[in-house]
């Protein structure tokens, strides 16, 4: 009998994509998947058109067009004072997704342990499976989604090779504080562990929360892979351009894995990315301010119909507790929400290693126009409020 590999058998269909399909079938407002329903900035679109018209249509250098790597290095310097050598310390990939899997495959051997905070972005589990890594989960707990330092310390052993970090965080909206990052960094140094830091929401923070790249902490530059992408900052999730920044030694491994996985990211879109990374500070301030308005609109809508939720301090999701609305089974509740109310969300269990930890939670994404969010809130009010 022909069949799929043991690895593939361990994957379940992405719940997020399942919810998106159900939303399409029934015409529900899709707050499940985290992509914008508003246009990308005109300048980045014009730059992409110019690159295609100018015949930047063949393979770029496999580890990234020189213009984009220069722009990434300049941006890290401008935003965080980080010195990055674009010749030896950057690998451009197909989105942050490929940056993470290429980094794990380059750094982690089968049987090595990887520490993962939960709830987690749903790709990290399959990433660990593909690399043959053994995930060790450490809980982030509401209301501020902090971790117990003792529990974190206990997750590190001499088999630990890496820790996966995502700040600002999907799905909790947590922005790790400098103190929290210091305690993670101390363990990384003690156990000789690499931090794989997914910072794709770096520019989407609220209420004065400060994004701190863990690579900027003492002794961490050489043991961090900083992962990012154009996707969220420039509202181009479909372009598939991301990157990993790491020491020359780690980068050379990541570049090799990347070369054999995908050869390279779309060449003209890399040129457009180089233009976007040079946007002035005002662009990033407006981005965050616009997201704040969207956050507050959805937050008050959800609270108004009985969800319990903390205001996220970063990223663009609200992880809402629906117990007081009678939710005991998040997947059934999410399906009912699509069918009966016309609003799509992601069942909370998809963000946990043990589904029971997310049984009363739903994640709502708000990278949407005010019209979309208002329609979602109106439907929730009609369908849920008593
Ligand atoms: C934390 C996190 N990392 C990575 C990604 C995917 O990034 P990309 O589209 O650049 O592959 C997402 C998308 O939702 C995300 O939330």
pLDDT, tens digit (0-9, with 9 covering 90-100), for 79-127: 999 999 999 999 999 999 999 999 999 999 999 999 999 999 989 988 9
Ligand 1 centre and the CA of 204: distance in Å? 13
Ligand 1 centre and the CA of 95: distance in Å? 7
Ligand 1 centre and the CA of 326: distance in Å? 31
Residues 6+ apart with CB under 8 A from 154: none
237 lines ligand 1 (CB under 6 A): yes
Ligand 1 centre and the CA of 96: distance in Å? 6
Q: Which residues of 77-107 are buried (b: 16+ CB within 10 A; e: fewer)?
A: eeebebebebeebbbbbbbbbbbbbbbbbbb
- Report the nearest atom of ligand 1 relative to the CA of 98: 11
Average per-residue pLDDT for the chain? 96
- Of 91, 165, 229, 265, best ligand 1 pocket probe by most atoms within 8 Å of the beta carbon: 229
What is the secondary structure of 303-351 as a DSSP string? Answer: HHTT-B-PPPSBSSEEEEE-GGGT-S-HHHHHHHIIIII-EE-EEGGGG
- Report the nearest atom of ligand 1 relative to the CA of 97: 11
384 to each of 321, 323, 338, 349, how far by Cα in Å?
14, 13, 12, 22
96 lines ligand 1 (CB under 6 A): yes
Per-residue pLDDT band for 1 (boundaries 50, 70, 90) equals: confident
Report which secondary-structure segment, H or E, holds 165.
Answer: strand 160-166
Is-contact 253 104, C-beta < 8 A?
Answer: no
**pTM of structure:** 0.97
CA distance 124 to 109: 16
Give the residue-averaged pLDDT of 195-217. 98
Q: What pLDDT score does 16 carry?
A: 84
Q: Which two tokens stand for residue 204?
A: 């989407």
Is-contact 220 236, C-beta < 8 A?
Answer: no
Ligand 1 centre and the CA of 324: distance in Å? 31
Per-residue pLDDT band for 33 (boundaries 50, 70, 90) equals: confident
Q: What are phi and psi of 364, to 5 degrees?
A: -110, 135
Strands (E), 168-307: 194-198, 224-229, 242-245
Q: What pLDDT score does 7 carry?
A: 85
Ligand 1 centre and the CA of 227: distance in Å? 10
200 lines ligand 1 (CB under 6 A): yes
Ligand 1 centre and the CA of 240: distance in Å? 10
Ligand 1 centre and the CA of 76: distance in Å? 19
Report which secondary-structure segment, H or E, holds 90.
Answer: strand 90-93
- Report the nearest atom of ligand 1 relative to the CA of 230: 10
172 lines ligand 1 (CB under 6 A): no
- Of 121, 169, 312, best ligand 1 pocket probe by most atoms within 8 Å of the beta carbon: 121
Q: Give, using CA atoms, the residue closest to atom 13 of ligand 1.
A: 34
Q: What is the pLDDT of residues 287-328, one digit of tens each?
A: 999 999 999 999 999 999 999 999 999 999 999 999 999 999
Q: What pLDDT score does 386 carry?
A: 62
Whether the per-residue pLDDT at 13 is higher than 80: the answer is: no
Give the residue-averaged pLDDT of 250-277. 97
% of the chain residues with pLDDT over 90 = 91
- Of 15, 97, 319, best ligand 1 pocket probe by most atoms within 8 Å of the beta carbon: 97
Q: Give, using CA atoms, the residue closest to atom 16 of ligand 1.
A: 170
């Amino acid at each position: 009998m022909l069949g799929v590999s043991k690895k593939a058998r361990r994957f379940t269909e992405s719940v997020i994509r399942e919810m998106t399909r159900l939303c399409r079938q029934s015409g529900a407002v899709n707050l499940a998947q985290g992509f914008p329903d508003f246009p990308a900035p005109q300048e980045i679109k014009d730059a992409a058109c110019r690159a295609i018209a100018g015949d930047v249509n063949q393979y770029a250098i496999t580890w990234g067009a020189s213009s984009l790597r220069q722009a990434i290095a300049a941006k890290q310097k401008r935003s965080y004072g980080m010195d990055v050598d674009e010749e030896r310390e950057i690998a451009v990939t197909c989105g942050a997704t490929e940056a993470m899997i290429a980094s794990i495959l380059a750094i982690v051997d089968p049987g090595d342990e990887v520490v993962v905070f939960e709830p987690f972005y749903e790709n990290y589990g399959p990433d660990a499976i593909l690399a043959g890594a053994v995930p060790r989960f450490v809980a982030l707990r509401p209301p501020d989604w902090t971790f117990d330092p003792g529990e974190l310390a206990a997750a590190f052993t001499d088999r630990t090779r890496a820790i996966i970090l995502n700040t600002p965080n999907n799905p909790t909206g947590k922005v790790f504080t400098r103190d929290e990052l210091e305690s993670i960094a101390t363990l990384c140094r003690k156990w000789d562990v690499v931090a794989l830091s997914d910072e794709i929401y770096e520019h989407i923070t609220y209420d004065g929360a400060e994004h701190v790249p863990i690579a900027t902490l003492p002794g961490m530059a050489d043991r961090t892979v900083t992962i990012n992408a154009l996707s969220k900052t420039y509202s181009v999730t479909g372009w598939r351009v991301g990157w990993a920044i790491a020491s020359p030694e780690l980068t050379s491994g990541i570049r090799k894995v990347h070369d054999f996985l995908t050869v390279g990211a779309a060449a003209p879109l890399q040129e457009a990315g180089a233009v976007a990374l040079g946007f002035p500070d005002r662009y990033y301030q407006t981005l965050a301010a616009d997201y704040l308005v969207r956050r507050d609109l959805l937050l008050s809508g959800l609270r108004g119909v009985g969800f319990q939720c903390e205001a996220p301090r970063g990223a663009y999701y609200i992880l809402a507790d629906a117990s007081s609305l009678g939710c005991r089974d998040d997947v059934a509740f999410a399906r009912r929400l699509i069918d009966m109310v016309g609003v799509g969300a992601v069942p909370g269990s998809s963000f946990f290693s043990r589904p029971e930890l997310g049984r009363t939670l739903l994640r709502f994404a708000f990278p949407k126009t005010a019209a979309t969010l208002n329609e979602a809130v109106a439907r929730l009010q009609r369908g849920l409020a008593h």
